[in-house]
Amino acid sequence: MSAEADSEMRGSSSGRDLADASGQDSRPQELASVANSRYWKHRGQLSQFVVRYGISLVFVVLVASLTVLSPTFRRPENLWNILQQNSIIGVVSCGMLLMMIVGGFDLSVGSVGAASSIVAALLFVGGWISLGVVAALATGLVVGVVNGLLITKARINPFVATLGTQVLVQGVLFIATNAAPIYGLPSSITVLGLGHLGPVPVPTIIFTAVALITWAILRSRSSATTSTPLEAIKRQAVSQACQSIE
């Protein structure tokens, strides 16, 4: 035991002598390395937070600023009106979210929605409510199939394909309606876009239901697989890049 202790003491003393002889101490370097690693770790966490919640933070700041600066903005009637006007955009955004997660892209969604609405309105005015609903869904399905064929079979870039479809559908709508709105819809249909359930607009209720369904779909998919939507997008982008190289 004494021999081992003597050897350890000699080794430690020789290490100190060597450090003293070189005139350098490794502890400041180690502390600097630890501080540097912590800095980059915190910076990475901050970047992830900004990427994930940046839009939400901007939205909260914008709403808070308008609430403080504009008395008209914070009136309940105005807030319900804003929700009603933007509910259709929210419904469309839910569908776009699912499509973009799997790597898709569609610029024609606005024109397709307008075309489906026009087709349905023309039939609603004639009293064919059920047929109008089916025709609206069929219109969206047909344009979607055309987009899919252009992208998968003709190998056209999704941006270009859906941009062309958007322009084409808009032109057809302007010719078919002479750029004029359609009047005479039954009240049972207009209530879906203009009605209220108490103070809450009906479109807002529909948007909330669609958003909850979208959230449930994403939750079920994320629990079934270990990958996140962001990882799925990355894998899809890598796969498309490899196909373009080939």
Per residue in 140-164, pLDDT (tens digit) is: 999 999 999 999 999 999 999 999 9
**Is the pLDDT higher at 237 or at 170?**
170
- Region 115-139: mean pLDDT is 93
Structure tokens at 131: 């047929």
pLDDT band at 34 (very low <50, low <70, confident <90, very high): low
Q: State the Cα–Cα distance between residues 212 and 218, nearest whole angstrom.
A: 10
Q: Is the pLDDT of residue 231 over 60?
A: no
pTM above threshold 0.85: no
Residue-level pLDDT at 56: 87
Q: Is the pLDDT of residue 13 over 90?
A: no
One-character DSSP codes across 35-47:
HHHHHHHHHHHHH
pLDDT band at 65 (very low <50, low <70, confident <90, very high): very high
Domain ranges within the chain, ordered by starting residue: 1-76
Per residue in 76-118, pLDDT (tens digit) is: 899 999 999 999 999 999 988 888 888 888 899 999 999 999 9
Half-sphere CA count of 122, side-chain side, radius 13 A: 12
* Number of Cβ atoms within 10 Å of the Cβ of 34: 10
For residues 98 and 217, the answer to whether their CB atoms sit within 8 Å is yes
Structure tokens at 134: 């089916």
**Is the pLDDT higher at 189 or at 47?**
189
List all residues 6 or more positions away from 115 whose beta carbon is below 8 Å from its beta carbon.
139, 140, 143, 169, 172, 173
Residue-level pLDDT at 23: 47
Nearest residue to 230 via CA among 51, 55, 90? 51
**Is the pLDDT higher at 215 or at 32?**
215
**Is the pLDDT higher at 6 or at 52?**
52
Q: State the Cα–Cα distance between residues 177 and 219, nearest whole angstrom.
A: 42
pLDDT band at 179 (very low <50, low <70, confident <90, very high): confident
